[in-house]
Amino acid sequence: MSKRPKFTLKAKNGNARLGEIKTSRGIIRTPAFMPVGTAGSVKAMLPDWVEASGADIILGNTYHLMLRPGAERIAQLGGLHTFMNWPGPILTDSGGFQVFSLSKLRTIAEQGVTFQSHIDGKTLELTPERAIDIQVKLEADIQMVLDECTPFPCEKDAARSSMELSMRWAERSKQAFEDHAAPDQALFGIVQGSVYPDLREESAAALCDLGFDGYAIGGLGVGEGQELMLDMLGVTAPFLPEERPRYLMGVGTPLDILASVERGVDMFDCVMPTRSGRHGQAFTWNGKLNLKNAIHADDPQPLDETSSCPAARDYERAYLHHLFKAGELLGPMLLSWANIHFYQELMGATRQAIAKGRFADFASETRHRLAGSSETTN
Amino acid sequence: MSKRPKFTLKAKNGNARLGEIKTSRGIIRTPAFMPVGTAGSVKAMLPDWVEASGADIILGNTYHLMLRPGAERIAQLGGLHTFMNWPGPILTDSGGFQVFSLSKLRTIAEQGVTFQSHIDGKTLELTPERAIDIQVKLEADIQMVLDECTPFPCEKDAARSSMELSMRWAERSKQAFEDHAAPDQALFGIVQGSVYPDLREESAAALCDLGFDGYAIGGLGVGEGQELMLDMLGVTAPFLPEERPRYLMGVGTPLDILASVERGVDMFDCVMPTRSGRHGQAFTWNGKLNLKNAIHADDPQPLDETSSCPAARDYERAYLHHLFKAGELLGPMLLSWANIHFYQELMGATRQAIAKGRFADFASETRHRLAGSSETTN
């Protein structure tokens, strides 16, 4: 029997899909939200909290980890799971997105991208082969092909050349993966093509011809707005095989996730719950709260007394407010925890709704709840 | 039966004492180390971790809490225990030390001290009566009299006037406490007198005449050096009643604690384990480690694989090193936790050694162990 991660589609409800990916390190229930462990840590959280929140898989960033502490070092220390004390599945990105968003002096060529580290200014190269080499050394359960992240907005000609380069890189990534990956690792391709439906279709077709364990939809959530993002999902998803998981990279808000599940997406990652948490924003079933707001200074209520998350259940809002005012680290710790827990509750409820064949109602009810008492828009 | 916290001396070994303080919120085993929860949070730690480390009591700072979020607000929110989600005993200082070390434009008069908040520059007054009022509102189980913290060095005349003022404030503090405190709260006096044995004796005698639930030794650990500090303990302790707990405020290193227990001290508090932890320093049974040091970058060992503390047992030193290099909050979280746990292990082993009548041997062995492989002096 193959040890290769395997997706099973268990139910459909409209286009919303319920499934699971079996990996050698555990089962990933989909739709899944992957907390982001950028530099080997889901920021301000213990791995135990991440697991207890219901997360089956986390994401690691190849770009950050290759710069510090280095893929070869992590390999010597027993791989990323051992290093960060997270025994469950890990998906790593290819590093491409961060090269384009964080590094300086990038030069893109057919061979790959040359860039300067944002940490120490060193010149480094990332090629499709090196991106796979790093991810194999990290022992990532799910790996991503290197792609060029098309900026938004982008003229169609430029979007086409960029997408075509990404497709050639995808082929090289696949070859490198087949040559070097362990039998229990998987590789996902990434659909590009900016906001042009025909380019998206072409890209999806090219990837399907190559054949991947899963398909990501890249280059969205980069400023095009929710409507255009959902349009692109709508035109891309039909060209992706039913029997493979679909991953919308870097997205998003609870409402983005609901709308994307509705269009057939199975996997998500986003820094929003942890980043917002570090800045005093809490996600709850009644909408977002800004705990720095003076309105909370005398409020003895917890974020959510019915939550199974200690951070949401056991601390007064007034106390959370105080922690942020006083600059206490416990504030970011508790809100990151509560937010990741909320995101996992949302995914759990989403899966349950699909299983019961009532996803549309659930999505509609949830939209109303989340809009309810929000202090800020979701 | 009185609900007032009560100290029981259970064993003596030389001058080292084993005891316990029964309070309405739990038993404090002595010698005890109290983690410091300055502004309502033991920095970067969950209350659960503090409790699981073996801490029976924590300390809160009146100065910080009166400025933010305010004693009246905390009272309305259910008291400090509820506010910070710590159900066990809390000792609060009187605010005096921080007024003298943190605030600006202090004016000391017979009535009390006027100062400017280091947060917003507001002018505030702290009197013996107000210090008790705040501590009662916080619902502190053990409260401290307001004292003037004599600087070091200090001429004898100045030390005498300062000590005498503190004794008059102690009397007023006691009166205020008797008028306003709850029946399950206790009040400790504070011996002053700088480094002058006769002043220390006079101060101790004055406090004993007034009668307190416990006696702190103040004004030490402020730059006089360990030798002079221990001399002062040696000359002060004999004037304190056997049947009351003795608390050395703001001290100190593991070696300071061992030497002070040897001289009859029962209680300690210090920011060192948490502050050091936030800066990458770990306390272990083999001495201190600076995790920022490059020597740890490839070390797969945990801090202490035999520890019951997850932070000390479950993470590679290389990972801790990485967390500090990358500025990840998990670094301060894990090292604060490991350090508080180590301090509590030290206190537990100390209590056990006294119970077995082998404290001197234990102290000597521990001094050698701690000096063993230290990267820095303890």
ipTM for the whole complex = 0.97
Q: Which domain does A249 fall in, by range?
A: 6-30+61-269
**Closest residue of B to A328, CA-based?**
B43
A301 vs B: CB within 8 A: no
Taking contacts as CB-CB distances below 8 angstroms, the residues of chain A near B41 are: 323, 326, 328-330
Contact across the interface for A73 and B333, Cβ inside 8 Å: no
Which pLDDT score is estimated for B375?
Answer: 58
User: Is B133 part of a structural domain of the chain?
Assistant: yes
In chain B the first and final C-alpha atoms are separated, in Å, by 45
Residue where one domain finishes, among candidates B213, B247, B270: B270
Are A157 and A305 in a shared domain? no
Report the pLDDT averaged over residues B60-88.
98
Count of C-beta atoms within a 10 Å radius of residue B370: 22
pLDDT of A376 higher than 60: no
Report the pLDDT averaged over residues B164-172.
98
Lowest mean pLDDT among A157-171, A183-197, B93-107: B93-107
Are B135 and B243 in a shared domain? yes
Contact across the interface for A85 and B41, Cβ inside 8 Å: no
Which pLDDT score is estimated for A373?
Answer: 56
Are A223 and A290 in a shared domain? no
Quote the percentage of chain B above a pLDDT of 90: 92
Are A113 and A231 in a shared domain? yes
The CATH number covering residue B203 comes to 3.20.20.105
Contact across the interface for A323 and B41, Cβ inside 8 Å: yes
Taking contacts as CB-CB distances below 8 angstroms, the residues of chain B near A278 are: 329
User: Is B212 part of a structural domain of the chain?
Assistant: yes
Lowest mean pLDDT among A112-121, B267-276, B341-350: A112-121
Q: A189: which 2 tokens?
A: 């391709």
User: Is A35 part of a structural domain of the chain?
Assistant: no
Q: What is the pLDDT of residues B276-290, one digit of tens each?
A: 999 999 999 999 999
B39 vs A: CB within 8 A: yes
Are A245 and A294 in a shared domain? no
User: Is A321 part of a structural domain of the chain?
Assistant: yes
Q: B168: which 2 tokens?
A: 């008059």
A39 vs B: CB within 8 A: yes
Lowest mean pLDDT among A84-93, B1-10, B128-137: B1-10
Residue B266 a catalytic site member:
no
Closest to A83 (Cβ–Cβ): which among B41, B64, B316?
A: B316
Catalytic residue among B93, B133, B213, B266: B93
Q: Smallest Cα–Cα separation from B12: which of B266, B298, B269? A: B266
Closest to B69 (Cβ–Cβ): which among A39, A76, A297?
A: A297
Residue A269 a catalytic site member:
yes
Contact across the interface for B73 and A43, Cβ inside 8 Å: no
Are A26 and A79 in a shared domain? yes
User: Is A43 part of a structural domain of the chain?
Assistant: no
Which pLDDT score is estimated for B377?
Answer: 42
User: Is A237 part of a structural domain of the chain?
Assistant: yes
Are B241 and B367 in a shared domain? no
Which conformational region is residue B343 in: left (phi greater than 0), alpha (psi within -120 to 50 degrees), or beta?
A: alpha
Are B266 and B326 in a shared domain? no
A319 vs B: CB within 8 A: yes
Count of C-beta atoms within a 10 Å radius of residue B220: 29
Report the pLDDT averaged over residues A23-32.
98
Residue where one domain finishes, among candidates A221, A239, A269: A269
**Closest residue of B to A37, CA-based?**
B328
Taking contacts as CB-CB distances below 8 angstroms, the residues of chain A near B315 are: 85
Closest to B319 (Cβ–Cβ): which among A45, A83, A278?
A: A83
**pTM above 0.95?**
yes
Contact across the interface for A44 and B300, Cβ inside 8 Å: no
pLDDT of B1 higher than 60: no
**Closest residue of A to B315, CA-based?**
A85
Total domain count for chain A? 2
Residue where one domain finishes, among candidates B253, B270, B287: B270
Kindly indicate the confidence band of residue B172, based on its pLDDT and cuts at 50, 70 and 90: very high
User: Is A1 part of a structural domain of the chain?
Assistant: no
CA-to-CA distance for B187 and A144, rounded, in angstroms? 63
Are A182 and A302 in a shared domain? no
Report the pLDDT averaged over residues B296-320.
97
Closest to A43 (Cβ–Cβ): which among B48, B77, B329?
A: B329
Contact across the interface for A77 and B300, Cβ inside 8 Å: yes
Taking contacts as CB-CB distances below 8 angstroms, the residues of chain A near B48 are: 310
User: Is B54 part of a structural domain of the chain?
Assistant: no
Across all residues in chain B, what is the average pLDDT? Answer: 96
